[in-house]
Amino acid sequence: MLKAQLTLDKDFVVDRIDPRLYGGFVEHLGRCVYEGIYEPGHPSADAQGFRQDVLALVRELDMPVMRYPGGNFVSGYRWEDGVGPRSQRPVRMDLAWHTRESNQVGVNEFMDWCRLAGTAPMMAVNLGTRGPEEARQLVEYCNHPGGTALSDWRRSHGYASPHAIKMWCLGNEMDGDWQMGSKTAAEYGRIACEAAKVMKWVDPSIELVVCGSSNRGMDTFGAWEAEVLEHTFAHADYLSLHQYYGKRDKDTMKFLAQPELMGDYIREAVATCDYVAARKKSSKRIQLSFDEWNVWYHSHGDRQDLSKWPMAAPLLEDIYNMEDVLVFGGMLITLLNHVDRVKAACLAQLVNVIGPIMTRKGGPAWRQTIFYPFMQASKYGRGETLRAIVRSPVYQTAARADVPYLASAVTRDAAGVTIFAVNRHLAEPLALSVDLRSFEGLKVAEWTVMRHDRLDAVNTEKVEAVRPVKTKGAVMKDGRHLAVRLPPASWNVVRLVPAAG
């Protein structure tokens, strides 16, 4: 049997976990907004058209921040189209996804939905086809109390109090040639600097996220970040990271190793941020916003005929399986182990479009397999991350050498200690021993396991085949030593609480 060990000390802390690590993403793409969060006439819809069954599931995920309205969509978006009387809102071509946008949901409706969902917006501005002036105007419309043309325009729309949006993204993936108004690093750096400057002049309290590379595989990765930060360092608070992982061939073990590449990506981005700080002789530290991440590959090449410019076309509707849970859980673990610099992250996306939640028009909403690891991490992975000493057997892949069979993160809050663990071995259980030498009097409160005999098992609206199951067999000795046997190809959550509690 494979064996692994974690050694923990309550004084060895990575950092506190910013709750915004458990953010989400709503883009005007496919059926994420229309037939996702918004479907007037649905049996569960409220007076504003928001699906209450979807809202209930979103509340289970407890996402403190929600990125909006894109994504590629934002680089051609006119925010003014989505405010005021709905009957007067124009229908526009969305060049990003080759569909039509009705603008029936806009800034104010999204703010209403956020309040119902218990989340706060992370608003993106269009720096593709628009620029600093339009970005400044949106901040004024949303955040200024009143007494100006734009803030009074908001008030005339029924929103007397400002929305007080705290976090703003300066465009989206501006280095990608698929992006409307894509730019070189120098071009983007200059426009982002000027947008940031005037946006903060309107509201000095806001925080700004500057675009990093669209993903680690971009040819300009590293050089792009350095150039952009040279221009924006004085105004930016966060650098964005985006990454999706997929299974490109039949090599499951290579697929399961990809969260390790995510850790490499984070460390490289941190090094670049700190390089620019060193050049500027500054003690300021740019933090990271990993504001797009997920498993995404099932729907690649599955685009529909969009020649007629449909509305709410079913796009990118990946159906996730048990195998995806292992990679998805590994990505969550990677984020938790880098909370010293990753202060926000957004699972992309929320509903239907590569989302943890699926809906049927006029019918039910249900939880995909990846719903559960996120829900458990969001619920139990709060407080602070502990820096564990990990000993694990490893395997080799073409993508990365020395991949540990054990992927793990450990968090601690007032309720106790939580261990998140993935056994990547497909056939062998992993005997995990945890040395909690500086802790006293802990007991096992619960151990849940997600696994299935078939890695391709999925959840549907009728059958939930993959979900956490409470399991017995985790043994705590003398309150300080845990022994637990992780099943093959499994996602595990072990919660430890004070024995006296």
Write out the two tokens for 288: 């990271």
* Alpha-carbon dihedral sign for residues 181, 237, 333, 392: positive
Average pLDDT over residues 425-430: 98
Rounded to 5 degrees, φ, ψ at 22 are -105, 45
In the chain, CATH 3.20.20.80 sits at 18-145+158-176+185-380
As a whole number of angstroms, the distance between CA 377 and CA 384 comes to 12
- The answer to whether 66 touches 376, Cβ cutoff 8 Å, is no
pLDDT for the residue 306: 80
Written out in words, the top-level CATH class of the domain with range 2-9+386-498 is: mainly beta
Mean pLDDT of 267-296: 98
Picking from 485, 482, 385, 488, the residue whose alpha carbon sits closest to that of residue 6 is: 482
CA 357, CA 56: separation in Å to the nearest integer?
11
> Contact 246/289 with Cβ under 8 angstroms?
no
**Token code pair at residue 291:** 């504001």
Whole-angstrom distance, CA of residue 268 vs CA of residue 222: 8
Catalytic residue (choose from 101, 225, 260, 292): 292
Q: Does domain 18-145+158-176+185-380 have CATH number 3.40.50.970?
A: no
- Position 399 scores a pLDDT of 87
pLDDT computed for residue 57 by the predictor: 98
pLDDT in tens, 390-424: 999 999 999 899 999 999 999 999 999 999 999 99
Confidence tier at 134 by pLDDT (50, 70, 90): very high
Band of residue 470 on the pLDDT scale cut at 50, 70, 90: very high
pLDDT tier, 129 (very low <50, low <70, confident <90, very high otherwise): very high
One-letter amino acid identity for 83? V
For the stretch 181-236, pLDDT in tens is 999 999 999 999 999 999 999 999 999 999 999 999 999 999 999 999 999 999 99
Would you say 430 and 486 are in contact if contact means Cβ atoms under 8 Å apart?
A: yes
Confidence of residue 378 (pLDDT cuts 50, 70, 90): very high
Q: What is the pLDDT of residue 482?
A: 97
Residues comprising the chain, all counted: 501
pLDDT at 304: 67
- Provide the percentage of residues in the chain whose pLDDT is more than 90: 96
Angle at which helices 132-143 and 149-156 pack, to 10 degrees?
A: 50
Beta strands in 265-415 (DSSP E): 287-295, 342-347, 357-359, 365-367, 384-386, 389-391, 394-395, 403-404, 406-413
Long-range pairs, 215-223, Cβ under 8 A, ≥24: 215/242, 215/243, 215/244, 216/243, 216/261, 216/264, 216/265, 216/268, 218/175, 218/176, 220/175, 220/185, 221/268, 222/268, 222/272, 223/185
Which residues 6+ apart lie within 8 Å of 200 measured at CB? 206, 208, 235
Does residue 173 carry a catalytic annotation? yes
Residues 127, 148: Cα–Cα separation, whole Å: 24
171 vs 75: CA distance, rounded Å:
7
Q: Where in the chain is the domain with CATH 2.60.40.1180?
A: 2-9+386-498
Task: From the candidates 173, 194, 225, 323, give the one annotated as an active-site residue.
Answer: 173
Structure tokens, 329:
């859980």
Q: Residue 501's pLDDT band (boundaries 50, 70, 90)?
A: low
CA 435 to chain centroid: 31
Greatest alpha-carbon span in the chain: 71
Please tell me the distance from the alpha carbon of residue 425 to that of residue 317, in angstroms, as a whole number.
28
CA 105, distance to chain mean position in Å, is 22
